[in-house]
Amino acid sequence: MKKILIADSLKASCTRNNSFLDRTDITILTASSNDEILRIHREQKVDLIVSKIDLPGLKSEELYDTIRQDTDLRDVAIIITFEDSPFNRARCDRCNVNVALPYPLDVAELHRKIQQQLNIAPRQAYRVALKVSVESKFKNKPFLYRTDNISSTGMLITAEIREEEMLSKGDMLSLSFYLPDGTRIGTCGTVERVIPQSIAPNVCLYGIKFINLTPSEQAAIKIFINKELNYKRSLGVNPDTLSDR
């Protein structure tokens, strides 16, 4: 479980057009002052702090010096945002943060930095037929689902099935699909997230976590994702609006 502590005023920017934080293994906490950040971090031992250099309360230099000097608190990644000026850049340096981002804030860059600091695998939109069978359910009969996106750790899939055939959180799946280069991926996964669609009751999204990808399969997926992301960036398309569950 990853814990992220975000300044209240930055939460909208952190989550805008970006559902990779909407995962079952991520908890988002918020704070309105540096004093509250210190208190919550002491209680929760968060993995990442995303804040502003001028947050009210304790001075940021004092806050982050306290964190870095405390053996119980120091192992946290810190992203600071600031009004761009030589004075504020010097303040960020004194805070000993991992990442400092100036205003006007580049939201896509903020998303990338959050993913990097949390070591979350990037995910690429990818729609293809997916053959799925569920262990000990539906007499192991395979169903055809549709992938929505994929990472080296899991995928989001869409199912249009009868209510009695819906998957449940924790179900063990056998998965089979092909990448665009013809590489066949045959692996297992578990249902980590069930996302009903209110506008289409017979449609459901499922967040799947891979559990036994071979090194060659994982490498093939990473190559595909990096190639697609680089292509999108070359066209000026923001790849960080992709979902990740």
Q: What is the pLDDT of residue 244?
A: 38
pLDDT band at 12 (very low <50, low <70, confident <90, very high): confident
**Beta-carbon contacts of residue 80 (< 8 Å; ≥ 6 apart):** 51, 52, 53, 60, 92, 95, 97, 99, 100, 101
Could you read off the pLDDT of 22-44 as tens digits, one per residue?
A: 666 788 999 999 999 999 999 99
pTM confidence score: 0.58
Q: What is the pLDDT of residue 134?
A: 79
163 or 135, higher pLDDT: 135
Domain 2-118 has CATH 3.40.50.2300: yes
CATH 2.40.10.220-classified regions of the chain: 124-241
Homologous superfamily assigned to 124-241 = predicted glycosyltransferase like domains (2.40.10.220)
| SS3 state at 101 | strand
- Provide φ and ψ at 239, rounded to 5°: -80, -5
CATH 3.40.50.2300-classified regions of the chain: 2-118
